[in-house]
Amino acid sequence: MAVERLDADILILGAGGAGLSAALHATDRTPSPSVTVVVKGLLGRAGCTRMVQGGYNAALAPPDSLEAHLLDTLRGGGWINDQELAWTLVREAPRRLLELEARYGCFFDRTPDGRIHQKPFAGQSYDRTVHKGDLTGIEIMNRLTEQAWVRPVRVLEEHRAVELLQDEEGRVGGALLLDLRSGRFSLLRSRATLLAMGGGPAMYRVVACSADKAADGIAMAFAAGAPLRDMEMIQFHPTGLVVPGSLMTGALLEEGLRGAGGHLRNGLGERFMAAHDPGRMERSTRDLVARASYLEVAEGRGTANGGVWLDVSHLGAEFVERNFRGMVKRCRDFGRDLAREPVEVGPTAHFMMGGVVIDPSCRTLLEGLFAAGEDAGGVHGANRLGGNGVADSTVFGGIAGDVTAEWVEGRPLPRVSEARAAERADRLLAPLGARGGEDLYALQARLRRLMWERVGLIRDGEGLRSAGEELEAMAERVRAVSVPGGREYNLAWQDWLNLLSQVTTARVIARSALERRESRGAHYRRDHPEPAPAWLVNVHVRVKDGGGMEVWTQPVRFSRREPEAMGAGALTVEVGD
């Protein structure tokens, strides 16, 4: 079928914190590049950055320091972070925070003497998390969106990318897009393409991410031949709401509740974190708290609805209502009074630490392709600290905008195959009107159960192998799905496209988890329950010719600090670096 052709100097796929930061930086860097932003939903209303409740980590003043922020990030990440990426994050976060406030108009909470207020978050040495109440993401996204509308940026709302375009040498030169409203395809050529679509582990049964997320960017990068790393590392946030019979099950209650002194209790009323991390208790890292909650339920000490209790009532109703207005309202919408009584919570799939391999300039190993935010791996290692996520998006989004604006100068538009794009579009239309195929939603439900039960918080070799086999079969089954209706605003068709990406990404997650034969961070193997020095490696995956997977490991490069278990060395960083 024929497809419409569009051109841009810089194509940004995604319009959350990373995508909009990139667009603003690219247009501010030089007025010459044409920038196109593609977003599945409406600008400023889609994606996960808007859902950020807790805040933004930045070391602003003593006794905190860049070195302390780096060390917390590496410890939280199980020491498999790319240390240059982690250092870039902590070094640039204070500068980007100042930019958000002074240049883009964000307003963060202040102390009585006028300083930016920073609250405690788990796994951190100091109160480091800058916030706007407990609705920080809305503040950041509103201001970034306002800035984007007044810059020379073409925005394609309610469009999705379905495939990266490549020339004969494998260089990336744009994407095949689908207009959700009309069902029409377009070919958008670009000199530089940025993946900023957000990961989103929506292939799990209980999830906290935005409903439009399907790991599309990671799936497209994998299909194009880009190496991925650390894909076994899926973060489960410990405090997702438990609301029986509601799709709101899994929606987050932010980490600041635990940071402020909230207690977690099992169904017997016991503060169970005393048995799992007696030093930090509820302020332990997300991986430990989520796994502890899961085990309490699995071992018969959960609530009647299969959760645990989060209790902040002892902090005083006035304090809770003043500092956590968004969380109080969310709970009251479901008949719970967070300020005065315990609320039922449980683990929820939240964030993907793994993703496309990048360098500190956001370059991937495919020429012309860049990645930032949750599409990129390496910053967070085996576990992300709360408050490092939106910092990651805005820091590396800004870097990507600066780098691509310079990179495209003088480069010709690539020669990509329109025939290949049309062929791909035809294949994606195949389920429409087909009869007698697989049931889309039965397959979707099976994927979510499979990932939760065998590739979730507690894993083992046997379960991972069987999951991998079923996922390989599912990759064929999903192509035999029949979808009713036409092309215009067909939500079932969009769910099928989501499922394609989710199954692809699930295959990579399961295979990477099988490869890592130890427990570290968010990855826990009951058959290998301890971390092993031999596994201070990153698991890499890429597609093989013919569609299989090549899996290999690379030793972690300790360019800034060695793990304490190996003999802690002095930090080799300077504040002015």
Q: Which entry of 96, 237, 263, 507 is annotated as an active-site residue?
A: 237
CB atoms within 10 A of CB 103: 13
Please give the Cα distance from 67 to 78 (Å, whole number): 17
Per-residue burial over 380-411, b if 16 or more Cβ lie within 10 Å, else e, is bbbbbbbbbbbbbbbbbbbbbbbbbbebbeee
CA distance 149 to 135: 22
Supply the DSSP symbol for 284: S
Q: What are phi and psi of 294, to 5 degrees?
A: -60, -45
Catalytic residue status for 258: yes
How much of the chain is in helix, strand and coil states, percent to nearest 5? 35, 20, 45
Tell me the C-alpha to C-alpha distance, in Å, between residue 445 and each of 125, 162, 229, 441, 516. Answer: 41, 22, 27, 6, 27
Give the C-alpha distances (Å, rounded to integers) separating 12 from 24, 36, 301, 400, 450: 11, 6, 47, 10, 33
Show the DSSP H helices in 110-182 as ranges.
136-149
User: Is residue 540 annotated as part of the catalytic site, yes or no?
Assistant: no
Residue 523 Ramachandran class (φ > 0 left, ψ -120 to 50 alpha, else beta):
beta
Task: Output the six-digit token pair for 377.
Answer: 């791996």
Q: What is the Rg, in whole angstroms, of the alpha carbon atoms belonging to the chain?
A: 23
Active-site residue identified among 258, 283, 286, 454: 258
Backbone angles phi, psi at 293, to 5 degrees: -65, -45
Cβ contact 386:136 at 8 Å: no
Amino acid at residue number 417: S
**Whose CA is closest to 362, among 353, 352, 372, 354?**
372
**Residue 247 corresponds to which tokens in the numbers above?**
């799709």
What is the spatial distance between Cα 439 and Cα 18, in angstroms, rounded to a whole number? 35
Q: Are 538 and 496 in contact (CB under 8 A)?
A: no
Active site positions, annotated: 237, 258
